[in-house]
Structure 1
Amino acid sequence: MGKFLTELNEELVHFIHKQHMFFTATAPSNQGRINLSPKGYDCLKIINTKSIIYLDYAGSGNETANHIKDNQKITLMWNSFDQKPLILRIYGYGEVIEKHTENYLTLMEEYYPEIDPNSARQIFRIRIEAVQTSCGYGVPLMDYNEDRDVMMKWTNTKVSQGKLDEYIDKHGARLDEKHPINNNDI
């Protein structure tokens, strides 16, 4: 039986820390597509029972940031793939912490000290509105092997060449007026 809570509890925090992957979902206010993305690595940090952040690496687009700038709504979801089934969703309101800002650098230093601040695109801060658990009985049992290293190798190469920000600009993956995502083109 599913439950709704207003914040994370100790059991759910422990569950999140055990997971190797989560999903984010956002949507624009107007017509347009829902963006659903898997996230890996150790990019998510729990600030407190009502607030989390996650480090966002460069990709092919920046729909999550554009949607958050539009309406702030974001949902995160975790699945248990081991013997004890559980699905956890967090419904919240997001904020984009843009790269190279003072707030970004402070969060990087405090929560990601081992990561080069130049290697990410931005940080998302999520204020938790509601937490929902559900059974997860239909989720398959799967074993975790390891994180893929492809994205980190690619990112580290771009950073070492001083070309990550150039890539983000060229491929429209930066949040700004120069590269808005037109959700009406669907």
Structure 2
Amino acid sequence: MGQTFYALTPGHLKFIAAQHMFFVATAPLSATASVNVSPKGYDSFHVLSPTRVAYVDLTGSGVETISHARENGRITIMFIAVDGPPNILRLYGRCTVHLRGTPGFEESLPQHLQDMVAARAAIVVDVSRVTSVCGYAVPFYQFVKQRETLIDHWVRKGESALEPYHRLKNSKSIDGLPGLWYPWHARWWHAYLRWRSRSSWDSAVFFCLGMAAGSFIITRPFAERRLGLGFGTISFL
């Protein structure tokens, strides 16, 4: 028989830790828009408390979960047993999105998940209901290994390729809902990553240019400083 809980128990946490995959379901508010289900692999799930969990959202061609989370926040996470005793564990709740480079991203995920090269956001879920049901019809499968294709792809591309890809592929959902966005702090973080990837000689040149520009702006009258900073911000964006 199915059981309902309002927080994760030690038994749930043990079951979650043993799984190699989970599924995420979200949907927009529109009755004519598309419901989305996404499988998640790697060691990407993290428990913050018995009523709060998070996972690292990795870069891909779709952005459905983030778009739905921005619109309404509804989410269901499902773990299934494919070996051992049968079980289907569902976590129901509301989620928020924290882009890479923002304080919420860093506060929600352990360092090894923050450092994943393909990471684009943390999805944080406030869990309101947990159900555990039999799963008698779920077949047995044997885990072999995680696929490294996604990580290898972005290692070859490099950090500097992430934001252009996000802007091209992840700006909206298949139903036209807003997807990824870049507030000023996330943009500065990606600019820092691009700067860090340069050679030491390039870094020194950019540092000297930045110091010279800063000195020029500081010595100008206040109105000119505002104008210069405004043009600099526009050119950066």
TM-score, length-normalised on structure 2?
0.70
* Greater fraction of residues in helix: 2
CA distance in 1, matches of 2:124, 2:113: 19
The equivalent of 1:176 in structure 2 is none
AA in 2 matched with 1:166: P
Note the aligned Cα RMSD (angstroms): 1.8
User: 141, 161, 164: which is aligned to 2:162?
Assistant: 164
Structure 2 counterpart of 1:78? 79
Q: Show the 5 A alignment for 1:110-125.
A: 111-113=110-112, 115-116=114-115, 119-125=118-124
Quote the residue 1:49 is aligned against.
50
Amino acid at match of 1:169: R
**For residue 180 of structure 1, what is the amino acid of its counterpart?**
K
Structure 1, unaligned runs of 5 or more? 174-178
Number of equivalenced pairs: 176
**Unaligned stretches of 5+ residues in structure 2:** 178-237
Larger strand share, 1 or 2: 1
Question: Higher relative contact order at CA 8 Å, sep ≥6: structure 1 or structure 2?
Answer: 1
Residue in structure 2 matched with residue 126 of structure 1 by the alignment: 125
Superimposed CA distance per residue, residues 100-145 of structure 1 (whole angstroms, 9 cap, x where no aligned partner): 212223444xx13365265311000000010001100000011100
Change in Cα spacing, 1:137 to 1:66, as seen in structure 2 (3 Å) is: same
CA distance in 1, matches of 2:172, 2:146: 31
> 1:98/1:184 Cα in 2 relative to 1: closer, same or farther (>3 Å)?
closer
* Residue 17 of structure 2 is aligned to residue 25 of structure 1: no
Runs of 4+, deviation exceeding 4 Å: none
Q: Distance in 1 between matches of 2:39 and 2:123?
A: 15
- Answer yes or no: is the 8 Å Cα contact 1:119–1:159 preserved in 2: no
